[in-house]
Amino acid sequence: MNRLKAIIESNDTGLGRVFDFGLQALILLSLVTFSLETLPDLSDAVRRWLYYAEVATVAIFTVEYILRFVVADKKSAFVFSFFGIVDLAAILPFYVASGIDLRSIRAVRLLRLLRAFKLVRYSKAVSRIHRALLIAREELILFGFVSLMLLYFAAVGIYYFENEAQPDSFSSVFTSFWWAVCTLTTVGYGDVYPITTGGRVFTFIVLMIGLGLVSVPAGLMASALSKARELDE
Amino acid sequence: MNRLKAIIESNDTGLGRVFDFGLQALILLSLVTFSLETLPDLSDAVRRWLYYAEVATVAIFTVEYILRFVVADKKSAFVFSFFGIVDLAAILPFYVASGIDLRSIRAVRLLRLLRAFKLVRYSKAVSRIHRALLIAREELILFGFVSLMLLYFAAVGIYYFENEAQPDSFSSVFTSFWWAVCTLTTVGYGDVYPITTGGRVFTFIVLMIGLGLVSVPAGLMASALSKARELDE
Amino acid sequence: MNRLKAIIESNDTGLGRVFDFGLQALILLSLVTFSLETLPDLSDAVRRWLYYAEVATVAIFTVEYILRFVVADKKSAFVFSFFGIVDLAAILPFYVASGIDLRSIRAVRLLRLLRAFKLVRYSKAVSRIHRALLIAREELILFGFVSLMLLYFAAVGIYYFENEAQPDSFSSVFTSFWWAVCTLTTVGYGDVYPITTGGRVFTFIVLMIGLGLVSVPAGLMASALSKARELDE
Amino acid sequence: MNRLKAIIESNDTGLGRVFDFGLQALILLSLVTFSLETLPDLSDAVRRWLYYAEVATVAIFTVEYILRFVVADKKSAFVFSFFGIVDLAAILPFYVASGIDLRSIRAVRLLRLLRAFKLVRYSKAVSRIHRALLIAREELILFGFVSLMLLYFAAVGIYYFENEAQPDSFSSVFTSFWWAVCTLTTVGYGDVYPITTGGRVFTFIVLMIGLGLVSVPAGLMASALSKARELDE
% of chain A at pLDDT higher than 70: 94
Which residue would you say has higher pLDDT here, C227 or D150? D150
Kindly state the average pLDDT of the residues A105-117: 76
- Is the domain defined by B2-122 classed in CATH 1.20.120.350? yes
Q: Which of B42-56, C107-121, C154-168 has the lowest mean pLDDT?
A: C107-121
What helix, strand, coil percent values describe chain A, rounded to 5? 80, 0, 20
Mutate to test the interface with D, among C146, C172, C196, C226 (most CBs of D within 10 A): C172
CA distance A141 to A91: 36
Interface check for D188 against chain B (CB to CB < 8 A): the answer is yes
CB contact under 8 A, A186 and B185: yes
Mean pLDDT over all residues of chain B?
A: 85
Task: Determine contact, residues D33/D55, Cβ cutoff 8 Å.
Answer: no
Return d(Cα B221, Cα B232) in angstroms, integer.
16
Residues in chain B closer than 8 A to D188 (CB atoms): 188
Asked if D132 contacts D225 with a C-beta cutoff of 8 angstroms, the reply is yes
Cβ neighbours of residue B2 under 8 Å, at least 6 residues apart? none
Residues 6+ apart with CB under 8 A from B24: B113, B115, B116
Residue A196: exposure state from Cβ atoms within 10 A (0-12, 13-18, ≥19): middle
> Cβ of D221 and C212 within 8 Å?
yes
Q: What is the DSSP string of D2-41?
A: HHHHHHHH--SSHHHHHHHHHHHHHHHHHHHHHHHHT-TT
Assess whether pLDDT exceeds 60 at residue C98: no
Mean pLDDT of B48-72: 90
C156 contacts D40? CB cut-off 8 A = no
pLDDT at C194: 94
pLDDT value for D102: 63
Task: Give Cα A165 distance to the centre of its chain.
Answer: 38
Kindly report, residue by residue over C33-59, the tens digit of the pLDDT: 888 888 888 899 998 999 899 889 889
Q: Domain locations in chain B?
A: 2-122, 135-232
Q: What pLDDT score does C99 carry?
A: 56
Across the range B33-59, mean pLDDT stands at 89
- pLDDT for C212 beyond 80: no
CB contacts, 8 Å: B189 with chain D = 190
pLDDT of the residue at A98: 58
Exposure of D53 in the CB half-sphere (CA atoms within 13 A): 18
Per-residue pLDDT of C111-153, as tens digits, reads 877 777 766 777 888 888 888 888 888 888 888 888 898 999 9
pLDDT given for residue D189 in this prediction: 92
The pLDDT tens digits for D201-229 are 999 999 988 887 777 887 788 888 888 88
Say what the pLDDT of residue C233 is.
66
B219 touches chain D (CB under 8 A): yes
Kindly give the residue spans of alpha helices, DSSP state H, lying in C38-136.
44-71, 75-79, 82-95, 109-112, 120-135
**Confidence check: pLDDT of B98 > 70:** no
Task: Quote the pLDDT of residue B102.
Answer: 63
Q: How high is the pLDDT of residue C178?
A: 95
pLDDT above 80 (res A125)? yes
Greater confidence, B160 or A106?
B160
Q: List the single range of A201-210, C186-195, D13-22 with lowest mean pLDDT.
A: D13-22
Per-residue model confidence as pLDDT tens digits over D115-135: 777 667 778 888 888 888 888
pLDDT of res. B119: 67
Mean pLDDT (chain A) is 85
Q: Phi/psi of residue A113, each to 5°?
A: -65, -20
- Whether the per-residue pLDDT at C30 is higher than 70: the answer is yes
Q: B135-232: which CATH topology?
A: Helix Hairpins (1.10.287)
Asked if residue A101 has pLDDT above 80, the reply is no
How does DSSP assign A104-169, residue by residue?
GGGGGHHHHGGGGGGSHHHHHHHHHHHHHHHHTHHHHHHHHHHHHHHHHHHHHHHHHHHTTT-TTT
User: Bigger pLDDT: D13 or B202?
Assistant: B202
| Contact list, B188 vs chain D (CB under 8 Å) | 188
Query: Is B93 a residue whose pLDDT tops 90?
Result: no
Mean pLDDT of the A133-137 span: 87
Q: pLDDT-based confidence at A3, cuts 50/70/90?
A: confident
Residue to substitute from B182, B223, B226, interface D, most D β-carbons within 10 A? B223
Q: Where is pLDDT greater, at D180 or C226?
A: D180
For the purposes of burial, counting CB atoms within 10 Å of the CB of D12, is it exposed (0-12), middle (13-18) or buried (19 or more)? Answer: exposed
Residue A99 pLDDT:
56
What is the phi/psi pair of residue B168, to 5°? Answer: -85, -50
Residue B223's closest chain D neighbor by CA?
D223
Query: Residues 76-95, chain C: which have Cβ within 8 Å of A?
Result: none
Question: How many contacts (CB atoms, under 8 Å) link A and D?
Answer: 103
B176-213 per-position pLDDT tens digit: 999 999 999 989 999 999 999 999 999 999 998 888 77
pLDDT at D49: 92
ipTM surpassing 0.85: yes
The total of other beta-carbon atoms located within 10 Å of residue D98's CB is 7
Please state, as a whole number, how many other Cβ atoms lie within 10 Å of the Cβ of residue A40.
10
C-beta atoms of C35 and B172 within 8 A: yes
Between CA C94 and CA C103 the distance in angstroms is 8
pLDDT in tens, A67-100: 999 888 888 888 898 888 888 888 887 887 655 5
**CB of C167 less than 8 A from some CB of A:** no
Answer yes or no: do B220 and C226 touch at CB < 8 A.
yes
Best-predicted range by mean pLDDT (B90-94, C183-187, D100-104): C183-187
CB neighbours of residue B231 within 10 Å: 10
Cα C106 from Cα B176, distance rounded (Å):
16
Distance CA D32, CA D36 (A): 6
Contacts of C128 in chain B (CB under 8 A): 139
Q: Do C222 and B223 touch (CB under 8 A)?
A: yes
pLDDT at D126 (0 to 100): 85
pLDDT at D150: 92
Q: How many helices (H) and strands (E) does chain C have?
A: 10, 0
Given pLDDT bands bounded at 50, 70 and 90, which one contains residue B103? Answer: low
Closest CA to D35 of C175, C193, C210: C175
Checking if the pLDDT of A223 tops 90, the result is no
Q: Is A126 on the interface with D (CB under 8 A)?
A: yes
pLDDT band at A123 (very low <50, low <70, confident <90, very high): confident
Pick the residue with more confidence: A200 or D103?
A200
CA closest to C147 among chain B residues: B208
For C55-71, the pLDDT digits (tens) are 898 899 999 999 999 88
Residue C145 near chain A (CB below 8 Å): no
| Amino acid D182: pLDDT | 93
CB hemisphere CA count around A120 (13 angstroms):
1
Structure confidence at residue B84 (pLDDT): 87
Start-to-end CA span in chain D (Å):
39
